[in-house]
Amino acid sequence: MDKVFHLGLDKTALGGATLAIVPGDPERAKRIAEKMESSKCLAQTREFHVYSAKLKDKTVIVCSTGIGGPSTSIAVEELAQLGITTFLRIGTTGAIQPHINEGDLLVSTASVRLDGASQHFAPLSYPAVSDFHCTQAMVNACESLSVTHHVGITASSDTFYPGQERYDTYSGYVSKDFQGTCEQWQKLNVMNYEMESATLFTMCAALGLKAACVAGVLVNRTRQEIPNVDHGEIEKKAVSVVIKAAESLL
Ligand SMILES: O=P(O)(O)O[C@H]1O[C@H](CO)[C@@H](O)[C@H]1O
Ligand SMILES: O=c1cc[nH]c(=O)[nH]1
């Protein structure tokens, strides 16, 4: 088999792995891989940093997706070509419900499709839904590690600022289509905003792949816009959860 276009890897490089942990941030990919045995960097190209590591004597891949749907769709497509069938996203997020606290973990059952990339895989009437068993594995991991977590719907936006209705911006203006949307999602019991799960869930469901998403809350938008929490501690918690979930799915 030829090497895939962006990751520059062929199937043999992945050592038969079928599960990938997919954070947004390339540096987080390295830290996740180093939490497992025998971590090895396979590729670093653009936003895609790819590692292999061993979990329960099996090879697991960690690959950063970068920010947003388009780059996520490339990572998922190329990893699928290389044999990956299960994708566990570990991200950061902004909560929009008052009862959720900074440092809590959010497990997404489904996502509001505020992205563009997912529409290249299925029409908007198709649900951006996570895989039941992978999501259950994330929830079980949160429970067994006694981590405060919430399970529910995520709003997944192409943009960090207008799509998440942020006014603390250069212009202070949000386009009419997005004005009032944060309040609407709050009223519709959406937990949080992030930027990749809609693409990940839609494309995985459409392609017969499995996906789940856990994210650590950096900020609660009902109280403030700029985080003042220890990112490292929140990440450690989320990494422990995703690795435990991966272990149970191998
Ligand atoms: O921490 P990651 O995984 O990148 O996730 C979140 O953080 C980025 C925005 O700051 C977006 O990618 C969003 O989804
Ligand atoms: O508010 C937030 C925080 C992290 N990532 C997002 O996409 N939104």
pLDDT in tens, 12-29: 999 999 999 999 999 999
Rounded CA separation 179/170 (Å): 16
Closest approach atom of ligand 2 to CA 195: 7
- Evaluate whether residue 225 is within a structural domain: yes
- Evaluate whether residue 153 is within a structural domain: yes
Cβ contact 113:198 at 8 Å: yes
Sign of CA dihedral 139, 128, 53, 102: negative
- Evaluate whether residue 194 is within a structural domain: yes
In this prediction, residue 75 carries a pLDDT of 98
Closest approach atom of ligand 1 to CA 156: 14
Q: What is the CATH number of the domain that holds 137?
A: 3.40.50.1580
- Evaluate whether residue 159 is within a structural domain: yes
Q: Is the ipTM of this complex over 0.90?
A: yes
Q: What is the pTM of this model?
A: 0.98
* DSSP H or E run through 132: helix 132-144
List the catalytic residue out of 47, 78, 194, 235. Answer: 78
- Distances from the Cα of 222 to the Cα of 96, 159, 183, 185, 202, angstroms: 6, 19, 10, 12, 28
Q: Is residue 166 among the annotated active site residues?
A: yes
- Evaluate whether residue 4 is within a structural domain: no
> The domain containing residue 92 runs over which residues?
11-249
Q: How many domains does the chain have?
A: 1
- 152 CA from centroid of ligand 2 (Å): 16
In this prediction, residue 126 carries a pLDDT of 98
Query: For residue range 27-64, what is the model confidence (pLDDT) as tens digits?
Result: 999 999 999 999 999 999 999 999 999 999 999 999 99
List the catalytic residue out of 149, 166, 194, 196. Answer: 166
Q: Is residue 78 among the annotated active site residues?
A: yes
What is the pLDDT averaged over residues 219-226? 97
- Evaluate whether residue 3 is within a structural domain: no
pLDDT at 1 over 80: no
Query: For residue range 75-108, what is the model confidence (pLDDT) as tens digits?
Result: 999 999 999 999 999 999 999 999 999 999 999 9
Query: For residue range 148-191, what is the model confidence (pLDDT) as tens digits?
Result: 999 999 999 999 999 999 999 999 999 999 999 999 999 999 99
